Amino acid sequence: MGAPDPIASADQLKDSLKDDYSYPVAQEKAQKLSRDLALASVASVVSEKGQQQTQEKIDTTAQIAQQAKDISDEAQNMDASQNILKAIAAQNGLIVSMLAEQRTDSLLARQDNAYSNLMLTQVADHLDSQRKKENSEEDGRLSLLHEVVLNARLDPTSAD
């Protein structure tokens, strides 16, 4: 479909930046690239041009459906079975065309869904990383507190 692979692109970016930046900075830049790719995918749908293309697809689908109905109406008035078979064949061609359009739209929706899942994964990774950092900070504070408490109790010059 011509869309870049956001995971491979992010990995390539991380590899190329690892010599110049720390791992967290390289990872952040790779995640920004993934977000930009997802934003471009969204923009292709919700931008003015994307909305116009969507409207054209809707109009084309409506025209195909109307043509199929018109052929069906005409076939009701036909007497020769060969003409009726030709009408059925024309209808089938239109229906296949419409189904092909639906399949294309379905595949594009699947790609958009994959971009959304990628972004959600990045959010989850970020939240997990933040939670681990907070846990480490809490462990450090507890360790310091234990050290202070033990030193205060073990001080032989204490008045206890």
Alpha helices in 18-160 (DSSP H): 23-46, 48-76, 81-154
Predicted confidence band at 154 (pLDDT cuts at 50, 70, 90)? low
Look at the pTM and tell me if it is higher than 0.75: no
Domain residue spans of the chain: 47-123
Query: Measured between alpha carbons, how far is 153 from 150 in angstroms, rounded to an integer?
Result: 5
Residue 34 CB-half CA count within 13 A: 24
- Cα separation of the two ends of the chain: 78
> Which pLDDT tens digit goes with each residue over 10-65?
677 667 766 777 777 777 777 777 777 777 777 777 778 877 887 888 888 888 88
Predicted confidence band at 5 (pLDDT cuts at 50, 70, 90)? low
112 in Cβ contact with 41 (< 8 Å): yes
Predicted confidence band at 160 (pLDDT cuts at 50, 70, 90)? low
> Which pLDDT tens digit goes with each residue over 82-100?
888 888 888 888 888 888 8
State the pLDDT at residue 138.
92
Q: At residue 82, what is the residue type?
A: Q
Query: Measured between alpha carbons, how far is 59 from 101 in angstroms, rounded to an integer?
Result: 12
